[in-house]
Amino acid sequence: MNRMNTKVVLAAGTLLCVLTTQAQAAIALDRTRIIFAGGDKSVSLNVNNDNKQLPYLAQGWIDDAQGNKVTSPLTVLPPVQRIEAGAKSQVKIQALPMVDQLPQDRETLYYFNLREIPPKSDKANTLQIALQTRIKLFYRPKSLMKTTAEMATPWQEQLTLTKQGDKYVVNNPTPYYVTLVDAGSRKGISAPGFEPLMLDPKGSAPLAVSASVLGEAPVLTYVNDYGGRPALTFRCGGASCQVVPEKKG
């Protein structure tokens, strides 16, 4: 879930088709998720053209949580730019005045898209391939920004589990989105059939695997702001489970 979602756009004449792939893009971003801090006017992303022979166009835009393209309250500048072969550039996500109308008691989810457009081929009947990267963009209100000291205790440790039948339901009491990418009965052991999920602020969702597979000390792995994957170990008593805090030092 923390990896970039990459799509392939194949174009030959009027043919256009979109497929999911893990192919290597020519245009590459410097991160796998974006945190837009409330109070900031913009955030800049570094973009590289990893193709050493050809220039590419880089087209950026933002989708809302439902997948609709939006130009407010956040917008991309420039929307299209040319990046020379092997060169580096930047793309900026700019806040517009309407950003103040977003909820200030919880995060808001968007998606940042960056599509590479290859130079037109001078050969007839040539199939061109372009890749598109899509990553999560979280608007985090100023009131929810934490200091370095506060970040030492991740808010993900506030997650709880509730056993309902043969399933665990994950409860997120925080105002932040939480992305879970793995689950197991102990660290390093993944439960077969687990499906990554993203919890809404103040939301909850069942895990796809059975509670019997995870046992009485489930381990959930989440994605932090930097793309890292820390693990949370739970201790269960009855139908509820709490995180066992990591020992500091």
Task: Average the pLDDT over 211-219 and give the result.
Answer: 93
Domain 5-142 has CATH 1.10.3190.10: no
HSE toward the beta carbon, residue 214, CA cutoff 13 A: 30
Q: Give residue 126's pLDDT.
A: 64
pLDDT tens for 134-170 read 999 999 999 999 888 888 899 999 999 999 999 999 9
pTM (two decimals): 0.87
* pLDDT interval class at 245 (50, 70, 90): confident
Task: Average the pLDDT over 105-131 and give the result.
Answer: 85
Is the predicted pLDDT of residue 21 greater than 50, yes or no?
no
User: Where do the structural domains in the chain lie, given as residue ranges?
Assistant: 5-142, 151-243
Phi-psi region of 193 (alpha: psi -120 to 50; beta: other; left: phi over 0): left
Per-residue H/E/C for the chain: CCCCEEEEEEEECCEEEEEECCCCCCEEECCCEEEEECCCCEEEEEEEECCCCCCEEEEEEEEECCCCEECCCEEEECCEEEECCCCEEEEEEEECHHHHHCCCCCCEEEEEEEEEECCCCCCCCCCEEEEEEEEEEEEECHHHCCCHHHHCCCHHHHCEEEEECCEEEEECCCCCCEEEEEEECECCECCCCCCCEEECCCCEEEEEEEHHHHCCCCEEEECCCCCCCCEEEEEEECCEEEECCCCCC
Q: Give the Cα separation of 201 and 180 in Å (integer).
A: 13
Nearest Cα to Cα of residue 60 among 20, 39, 29, 23: 29
Task: Average the pLDDT over 24-36 and give the result.
Answer: 92
* pLDDT interval class at 19 (50, 70, 90): very low
- Give every CB contact of residue 244 below 8 A, 6+ residues apart in sequence: 233, 234, 235
Give the architecture-level CATH label for domain 151-243: Sandwich (2.60)
Is there a cis peptide before residue 230, judged by omega within 30 degrees of 0? no
According to DSSP, the residues that pair with 232 across neighbouring strands are 220
Q: What is the CA radius of gyration of the chain?
A: 21
pLDDT tens for 168-214 read 999 999 999 999 999 999 877 889 999 999 999 999 999 999 999 99
